Structure 1
Amino acid sequence: MPCVTRSPAELAMDETFWKDVAARYPRDDGPINLDGGYFGRMSEGVVQAYEDAIRQVNRGNSVQVREHFDKHQAEAIRQQLAELMGVPADELAFARSASEALYSLIRNYQRLQPGDQVLISDLDYGSVQGAFDWLQQARGVELVTLVHAHPATHDGLLHSYREAFATHPRLKLMALTHVTHRTGLVMPVKTIATEARAHGIDVILDGAHSLGQMEVDLADMGVEMAGFNLQKWIGAPLSLGVIHVRRERLADFAPDMGNPSYPAGDIRCLTPYGTPNVPALMSLPTVFAEHEALGGWQVKGARLRYLRDLWLPAARALPGIEVLTPDDPRLACGIASFRFRDVEDQQGKIDQLLAQFNIFTVARAGSACGPCIRVTPGINTTPADMHALASALALMSE
């Protein structure tokens, strides 16, 4: 349990505290894993809860699921999620991932007419870009793609969206990514969403990388529809995502593929039809309790930023390295990215990091600013891991 008399920033530097946290996770004897942005490890406590739930469901079979989970547990778990996220439970539905949640919101949005315009950016997730392209083919709308300037600045990002809103008067719907998966750039969501709303544009927020490591106050941000996952920074098993639609906006969505399980107007009708991973859902009370006991997003986010700052300033100073993540704290979180200036294909450098220095990272491509190497520490990453990365980059850039 974090000490209530100490700030998240103070706890972020307390290695005794984080050694105790790391002890709650399975030991990893492999490479230093700096791809924590893919999905997070489950603690041993969550693994135990998940395994117990698997055995319980396997033993009780349909009686357990129909009589206990469907009638009682599912709603109680959704209420716990609502308390964690600070929104009413009837504005949340479970999905199998953030991508599935976003797919459902995009394809079931009913307010588009042929000739309307929809907006994405080069930094949005590939599946979201693909879904908006599908809207163009299926609904007869015009797809507008915004290319962000590099390096990104707070004012530059706002200017890009303001210019897009002004020059495309038929815009009705846009995607907006809270934390971009390629570079770790944090978008100024509140201002963008406010100005979009003033132009009559609805925003679908991709919060896959923000929930659990950053404040996600949907009401304050003015976000009325969003997709998240619970398997990155919340610490849940794989296969769990979240759909959010503000209660007053549910009428703007059709049941997913005519989902007969729930009536239109019940957000759960947006969940793709099928049997969910019931044991994973049953583990969520343990997941939520551990997340809150650790200090929630405040403590997790502070730790991830502290770990980031152990390698990123050193990397910025290397002549052979270009850091893509801004140093403006408003635009940054625990995820950061860089690239080697002398090569186009970064995968060779990733392979070298692994083979020569035992450090695992991941390449990200697709944005207009070019390919990069993403670095994302995890909850049980150590300062020694980050110093190892900084040392490796110094040697590789000579």
Structure 2
Amino acid sequence: MPCNAANEAHWQAIADRYALEPGPINLENGYFGRMSRAVQAQYLEHVAFINRSNAVHVRQHFEQGENVEIRRQLAELIDADPESVAFTRNATEALQSLIRNYNRLQPGDQVLISDLEYDTVKAAMRWLAGYRGVEVIEISHAHPASFDSLLQSYRDAFVQYPRLKLMALTYVTHRTGLVMPVEAIARAAREHAVDVILDGAHALGQIEFNLAELGIAFAGFNLHKWIGAPLTLGFLYIATERLADIDPDMGEFHYPITDVRARTPYSTPNFPALMTLPLVFEEHRALGGAAAKGARMNYLRDLWVRQVRPLSGIEVLTSDDPRLYCGITAFKFIGRDQPVMADRLLRDYNLFTTTRNGAAFGTCIRVTPGLATSTADIHALINAITALSAD
């Protein structure tokens, strides 16, 4: 852990870069992240400028070169070839494009999802059954999860379902923050000729990774969660040597078939948001990137988890194996109605969280600190859970 992860003065100075609305303590920073004051100011300047200049600047400058440089900087962020990335509105749009346009499926093939995938990703994979004639295999992971149990679940599936050709895999599960052993799972998938489409929505900005080293050829990401960009920005990644395995999106013709940008819907993007990205990337790097952000989020997570895990009536659902968690973690009040308890956290203790459901372990309460979260906020959470567990 970098030495400044626990340095409150350091992180308070960073928190001061963000404008906060008075109200509950926000422990639901996983939905989307805040822009810093500097990013917000530049974004609003770009909004006003594009509104004034309209198509003149976009046609003469943005489309003629600015977008190329911004895309180059995006690729640099993940150490990838610029020809392997294309902007989307969010990770969901990226993943839907990859799933519907993956062209190596034949009727009778099988595709794989688990209970920990994002619901929209599950729906897109199920959509393939009707439109590609494939069989959808759904597995549930054992709880509590371990590195070995997660990997074994996939090894077992690859053996049990020999017609598997494609699988969805979430890097950081949105329900509990469980970090999947992506490299090991992807290696096992390759041994059985199964392609992986990676949902990296919550990973980018929290976890350091290299897609080539992970063995991932297809992935979708958000820029407005942990990178700090304006809303409506994400991107897809297709390894350049695998571009032909993803068809242009619904006959997209504005870009050549050899251009990765043909794999996304062509539309008028949020130009001001895209123009703000160089500053977003600069701030991300200056802060220390995913290494610093991830270390801070993990530090805050550990503060509350270590205190509440031993409590009677509390189940923390996310593993303490450092390979398997990040700043996001979920828990349950055993035998209680979780939405009711989340409401009590808000009503009685001024703590805003969110509930997640859809996995084999049922409904849970998700806690996600952010860059503006203080240790005082975390201690307020500890005190609230402790009191409610004894109630």
Please classify the TM superposition score into its range, dividing by the shorter chain length.
over 0.9
Matching residue within 360, 380, 386 for 1:388? 380
1:187 aligns with 2:180: yes
Alignment of 1:1-398 (within 5 A): 9-343=2-336, 345-398=337-390
Deviation at 1:216, TM superposition (A): 2.2
Structure 1 residue 261: Cα displacement: 1.2
Q: Which whole-Å CA distance do the structure 2 matches of 1:280 and 1:135 have between them?
A: 33
d(CA) in 1 for partners of 2:254 and 2:35? Answer: 31
1:29-72 Cα offsets, whole Å, 9 max, x none, are 11000001110000001101101111111111101111111111
2: distance between equivalents of 1:20 and 1:127?
Answer: 37
Question: Residue by residue, what CA displacement relative to the aligned partner does 1:332-369 show, whole Å, maximum 9, x if unpaired?
Answer: 111000011022x3110011000000000000000011
Question: Which whole-Å CA distance do the structure 2 matches of 1:262 and 1:56 have between them?
Answer: 27
Q: Secondary structure at the match of 2:2?
A: helix
CA–CA separation in structure 1 for the residues paired with 2:327 and 2:20: 22
SS in 1 for 2:17: coil
SS in 1 for 2:137: strand
CA distance in 2 between partners of 1:18 and 1:314 (Å) = 22
SS of 1:310 mapped into structure 2? helix
SS, match of residue 264 in structure 1: coil
- Tell me the percent identity: 58
Cα shift at 1:316: 0.4
Larger displacement relative to structure 2 (22-31 or 74-83): 22-31
> 4+ residue stretches of structure 1 with deviation over 3 A?
none
* Deviation by residue 1:133-182 (Cα, 9 ceiling, x = unmatched): 10011110000001100000111111100000011110000000000000
The DSSP-based 3-state class of the residue aligned with 1:330 is: coil
Q: Deviations over 1:112-142 (max 9, x none)?
A: 0000000000000000000001001111000
Q: Which runs of 5 or more structure 2 residues have no equivalent in the other structure?
A: none
Q: Which runs of 5+ in 1 are unaligned?
A: 1-7
2:269 partner SS: coil
Counterpart position of 1:3: none
TM-align CA RMSD: 0.7
Residue 313 of structure 1 deviates from its aligned partner by 1.0
Alpha-carbon separation, structure 1, partners of 2:213 and 2:235: 19
The residue aligned with 1:5 is none
- TM-score for both structures, normalised by structure 1: 0.97
Alignment partners' CA distance in 2, 1:222 and 1:169: 21
Deviation sequence 1:51-96 (CA, Å, 0-9, x none):
1111111111101111111111111000011111100100000000
CA distance in 1, matches of 2:40, 2:140: 42
The aligned amino acid for 2:140 is: V
CA distance in 1, matches of 2:295, 2:148: 25
Deviation at 1:260, TM superposition (A): 1.6
Q: CA deviation at 1:27?
A: 2.8
C-alpha distance in 1 between matches for 2:259 and 2:365: 41
In 2, the alpha carbon distance for the partners of 1:213 and 1:369 equals 25
**Structure 2 counterpart of 1:346, one-letter code:** Q
Q: How many residues align?
A: 390
